[in-house]
Amino acid sequence: MDPQVSEAEAVLVENDRIRAVGTLQELACLAPDAERYSLKGQCLLPGFVEAHIHVWKVGNLQTHTLDLRGTTSIPDLQERLRAFAAERPDATWVQARGFNEAAMLERRMPTRKDLDAAVPDRPVLVQRTCAHILVLNSLALEHAHITAQTPTPAGGEICLGPDGNPNGVLTETAQGLGFRAAPVFSEADYVTMVSAATETLLAHGFTTATDPGVMPDLLAVYRKMEMEKRLKMRFNVMPIRLPDGGTTALPLPDRSSSDFLTINTVKFFADGGLSGKTSAVSRPYRGTMNEFGVLRLPPDFFYELAHEPHEKGWKIATHAIGDVAIEGILSTYERLYRETPSPARHRIEHLGLPNSDHLKRVAAAGIAVVPQPMFLRELGGNFRQYLDDAFLAQCYPMRSMLEAGITVAFSSDAPVVKGIHPLENLHAAYFRRDLAGGVITPEESVSVMEGLYACTMGGAIANSMEDQIGSITPGKFADFVILESSPLAVDPERLLEIKIKETWVGGKRVFLA
Q: Alpha-carbon distance 421 to 380, whole Å?
A: 17
- Beta carbon nearer to Zn ion, 80 or 204: 204
* Listed ranges 189-197, 200-208, 405-413, 481-489: which one lies at the site for Zn ion (CB under 5 A): 405-413
Crossing angle of helices 422-431 and 373-386, in 10° steps, is 50
The residues in 90-129 that bind Zn ion, with binding defined as CB under 5 A, are none
Report the candidate in 336, 331, 452, 56 with the shortest Cα–Cα distance to residue 215.
Answer: 56
Least distance in angstroms from the C-beta of 132 to Zn ion: 10
- Beta carbon nearer to Zn ion, 130 or 359: 130
Report the candidate in 348, 298, 354, 276 with the shortest Cα–Cα distance to residue 322.
Answer: 354
Does position 413 bind Zn ion by CB under 5 A? Answer: yes
- Beta carbon nearer to Zn ion, 411 or 471: 411
Least distance in angstroms from the C-beta of 28 to Zn ion: 46
Least distance in angstroms from the C-beta of 54 to Zn ion: 6
Does position 323 bind Zn ion by CB under 5 A? Answer: no
Q: Give the bridge partners for 214, in sequence order.
A: 239
Cβ atoms of 137 and 111 within 8 Å: the answer is no
* Listed ranges 382-390, 401-409, 411-419, 444-452: which one lies at the site for Zn ion (CB under 5 A): 411-419
Least distance in angstroms from the C-beta of 408 to Zn ion: 16
Per-residue H/E/C for 228-261: CCCCCCEEEEEEECCCCCCCCCCCCCCCEECCCE
* Listed ranges 111-119, 356-364, 410-418, 427-435: which one lies at the site for Zn ion (CB under 5 A): 410-418
Least distance in angstroms from the C-beta of 416 to Zn ion: 6
Distances (CA, A) of 133 to 23, 52, 60, 305, 513: 54, 20, 18, 24, 37
- Beta carbon nearer to Zn ion, 244 or 413: 413
- Beta carbon nearer to Zn ion, 413 or 424: 413
- Beta carbon nearer to Zn ion, 153 or 371: 371
How many helices (DSSP H) and strands (DSSP E) are in the chain?
Answer: 17, 21
- Beta carbon nearer to Zn ion, 272 or 506: 272
The residues in 420-449 that bind Zn ion, with binding defined as CB under 5 A, are none
- Beta carbon nearer to Zn ion, 319 or 358: 319
Least distance in angstroms from the C-beta of 52 to Zn ion: 6
Least distance in angstroms from the C-beta of 170 to Zn ion: 18
Report the candidate in 204, 201, 254 with the shortest Cα–Cα distance to residue 58.
Answer: 201
- Beta carbon nearer to Zn ion, 51 or 146: 51
Long-range contacts of 489-497 (CB under 8 A, 24+ apart): 492/426, 492/427, 492/430, 492/431, 492/448, 493/427, 493/431, 495/423, 495/424, 495/426, 495/427, 495/430, 495/448, 496/421, 496/423, 496/424, 496/427
Binding track over 279-318 against Zn ion, x by CB under 5 A: ----------------------------------------
Least distance in angstroms from the C-beta of 273 to Zn ion: 9
Closest residue to Zn ion, Cβ-based? 413
The residues in 217-276 that bind Zn ion, with binding defined as CB under 5 A, are none
| DSSP assignment of 28-49 | HHH-TT------TT-EEEEPEE
Least distance in angstroms from the C-beta of 406 to Zn ion: 19
Least distance in angstroms from the C-beta of 163 to Zn ion: 34
Q: Alpha-carbon distance 148 to 176, whole Å?
A: 17
Report the candidate in 394, 393, 400, 459 with the shortest Cα–Cα distance to residue 425.
Answer: 459
Total of residues contacting Zn ion (CB under 5 A): 1
Does position 172 bind Zn ion by CB under 5 A? Answer: no
293 Ramachandran zone, left/alpha/beta (phi>0; psi -120 to 50): left
- Beta carbon nearer to Zn ion, 323 or 413: 413
Q: Alpha-carbon distance 100 to 73, whole Å?
A: 10
Question: Interface with Zn ion by CB under 5 A: which residues?
Answer: 413
